[in-house]
Amino acid sequence: MKNNKRKKKKVLSVLVLLLLILGVSIGYAVLSQTLTINGTSSIGGSTWNVHFENVQIANGSVTATTPPTATGTNTTSLTYTIALQQPGDFYEFTVDVKNGGSIAAKLNSAPTISGVSTAQDVYTNYTFLNSDGSAVTAGQTLAAGAKRTYKVRVEFDSNISASQLPSSAQNLTLTVSMPWVQS
């Protein structure tokens, strides 16, 4: 029985000694490693400048009380005021969206058109299209330095009934916005 206890103590002592040596070795290896990273990096300047420019009013359009004006950088909203007096009247213009920055842009969602009340919506048609007449959709891209032309039109619907006509003159203050993000 004494031999068994001595054998167990020896085995235990050897195990503890091995674990101690292993622990010291690992600790030494961890503390003695040197990691050296050398390199050069540079980050270039980038600019974001997506904006409306070059508004061109279409022939035959009613005269705007406040025409759409595109000024400044990063202006992706146009507000204008018009009065449509009778069915068939319209106001139409083309506008360029210019990416004057160094980062490609992507249209995050379809353009928003606001300023027409629910009552006015009955007799007002409002469209925002690509210059070729196709629908403007989310995901359209605009490379750095590029521009794209859009056509905006609001008209007094000529196919409405007498009961849908407004009872008084209506001035419309309209805003069109395009949410561009980095591509």
The 10s digit of each residue's pLDDT in 55-86 is 999 999 999 999 998 765 667 888 999 998 88
pLDDT tens digits along 122-158: 889 999 999 999 999 999 999 999 999 999 999 988 8
State residue 91's pLDDT score: 95
Check residues 154 and 28 and name the one with the higher pLDDT. 154
Q: Which of 91, 90, 102, 45 is nearest to 68 (CA)?
A: 91
Distance of CA 1 to the CA centre of its chain: 82
State residue 169's pLDDT score: 76
Instruction: Give the mean pLDDT of the chain.
Output: 85
40 falls within a domain: no
The C-alpha torsion from 15 through 20 and 22 to 23, rounded to 10°, is: 140
Look at the chain and report how many structural domains it folds into: 2
State residue 138's pLDDT score: 93
Q: What is the DSSP letter of 134?
A: P
Q: Rounded to an integer, what distance in angstroms lies between the CA atom of residue 94 and that of residue 160?
A: 26
| H/E run at residue 112 | strand 112-114
State residue 80's pLDDT score: 93
- Domain span at residue 140 reads 50-158+171-182
| H/E run at residue 14 | helix 2-32
Same domain, 104 and 77: yes
Same domain, 79 and 151: yes
